[in-house]
Amino acid sequence: MILKIIKYPNKILISPSQRVKVLDEKIKKLILDMTETMSVNKGCGLAAPQVGINLRLAVVDLAGQLITLINPEIVKTSKETEVMEEGCLSLPEVEAKVKRLTWVEVKYLNAEGKEINFKAEGILARIIQHEVDHLNGKLILDRINFFTRYKLIKKLTKTI
């Protein structure tokens, strides 16, 4: 089922999400629906708050490789950062240069409920940080300077 994507300035996007307690059929269905929704919208990541559910769950599509992140936690990070253009399905037509950590070690449960711990680098490290931000109620807009933020919010609210 394709879900409706929640867009800025909906409050769900700025609310912190709760941990997933049980990986039951309802959550499994949500994972499937989120994956389908990400795919039809040509996104490379989608977090549960973006479909109106404040749960710590996100799906990632890394060049066709699907990753489900349940209760992801960043446990170790690089000191170095890098800047790259980023977009977000909840912020239509917005692209902004965002500074992110070069690599992150992330701990999460996968779609089978297995605990995974791995070091993500490059674009995957960036996507994971972006999705974990969503789970903490943070958007790209919170990662850029005041003037760029102002300019982008003006653009966003014009299209609503």
**Catalytic positions:** 131
Phi, psi of 78 (to 5 degrees): -75, 165
Distance in Å, CB of 22 to Ni ion, minimum: 26
Q: Are 47 and 88 in contact (CB under 8 A)?
A: no
Q: Is 60 in the site for Ni ion (CB under 5 A)?
A: no
Determine the interface stretch with Ni ion among 30-38, 70-78, 86-94, 114-122 (rule: CB under 5 A).
86-94
Edge-first strand listing for the sheet containing 115-121: 45-47, 57-62, 65-77, 103-109, 115-121
Q: Are 127 and 60 in contact (CB under 8 A)?
A: yes
Binding mask 11-50 for Ni ion (x = CB under 5 A): ----------------------------------------
- What DSSP element (H or E) covers 70? strand 65-77
Distance in Å, CB of 43 to Ni ion, minimum: 8
Number of residues that bind Ni ion (CB under 5 A): 1
Nearer to Ni ion, 13 or 27 (CB): 13
Q: Is 88 in the site for Ni ion (CB under 5 A)?
A: yes
Tokens of 53: 């559910």
Rounded CA gap, 28 and 54, in Å? 16
Distance in Å, CB of 88 to Ni ion, minimum: 3
Gyration radius from the chain CA atoms? 15
Nearer to Ni ion, 70 or 139 (CB): 139
Distance in Å, CB of 91 to Ni ion, minimum: 7
Footprint on this chain of Ni ion (rule: CB under 5 A):
88
